[in-house]
């Protein structure tokens, strides 16, 4: 239990109890452990009495905090931020619209909107040239390593790591290189849009 000694916080907690009573939440307060006598006393007290009570150092409050729920929420926020940063990284480094649509489950319109925000207006879009044959061989070898290292890992993370290994190549070139010997492309065209 966390001890609350700050008079402002104590006053806010008392106000919250009174507001709950006024809103018809007495049952919730009883279930939380407050006695009927205490709630009846609080209901009829003027605000100045609550202010005075909150300023008395001997009257302290103890609250419990659901650490796990807060931690889980903060972890979700971190994941959402990482996802957003990764999406921006892919767009800045030449990922095709279709690839971003597939990996982040967003529409082509949303991707184009992000491109407009993140990329300079004079940056050329569309397909880039394929890397030289020797570089393509290295890309295939590195891709095989990444798949072997983490067969259950996400495609998004593998592509990111592949680009980290070949930062001079655009992501769309890496994707087309990965697919050059595939019977079926990894990036099929769907209703989201095309590869450009």
**8-39, pLDDT tens digit by residue?**
999 999 999 999 998 988 898 999 889 999 99
Report, as an integer, the average pLDDT of 47-73.
90
Together in a domain, 109 and 49: no
Concatenate the DSSP letters of all residues of 92-154 into one string. Answer: HTT--HHHHHHHHT--HHHHHHHHHHHS-TT---SPPPPPPHHHHHHHHHHHHHHHHH-TTS-
Together in a domain, 99 and 189: yes
C-alpha span between 25 and 20 (Å, rounded): 5
Domain termination residue (choose one: 12, 28, 63): 63
Question: Residue 186: helix, strand or coil by DSSP?
Answer: coil
Together in a domain, 178 and 133: yes
Together in a domain, 97 and 179: yes
Please tell me the pTM assigned to this model: 0.70
Helix, strand, coil in percent for the chain, rounding step 5:
60, 5, 35
CA angle 146, 147, 151 (to 5 degrees): 125
pLDDT digits (tens, 9 = 90+) for 87-134: 999 999 989 999 999 999 999 999 999 999 998 877 766 667 788 999
pLDDT in the model for residue 185: 65
Together in a domain, 37 and 103: no
C-alpha span between 194 and 17 (Å, rounded): 57
Task: Tell me which residue range forms the domain holding 41.
Answer: 2-63
């Amino acid at each position: 239990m966390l001890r609350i000694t700050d008079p402002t916080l104590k006053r806010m907690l008392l106000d919250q109890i009174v507001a709950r009573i006024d809103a018809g939440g007495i049952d919730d307060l009883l279930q939380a452990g407050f006695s009927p006598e205490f709630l009846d006393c609080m209901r009829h007290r003027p605000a100045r009495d609550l202010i005075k009570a909150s300023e008395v150092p001997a009257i302290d409050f103890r609250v419990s905090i659901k650490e796990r729920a807060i931690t889980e929420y903060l972890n979700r926020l971190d994941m959402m931020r990482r996802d957003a940063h990764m999406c921006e990284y892919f767009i800045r480094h030449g990922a095709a619209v279709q690839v971003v649509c597939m990996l982040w489950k967003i529409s082509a319109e949303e991707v184009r909107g992000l491109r407009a925000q993140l990329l300079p207006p004079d940056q050329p879009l569309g397909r880039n040239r394929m890397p030289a044959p020797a570089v393509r061989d290295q890309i295939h070898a590195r891709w095989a390593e990444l798949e072997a290292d983490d067969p259950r890992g996400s495609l998004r993370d593998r592509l990111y790591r592949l680009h980290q290994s070949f930062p001079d190549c655009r992501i769309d070139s890496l994707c087309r290189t990965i697919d050059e010997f595939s019977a079926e492309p990894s990036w099929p065209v769907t209703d989201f849009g095309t590869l450009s």
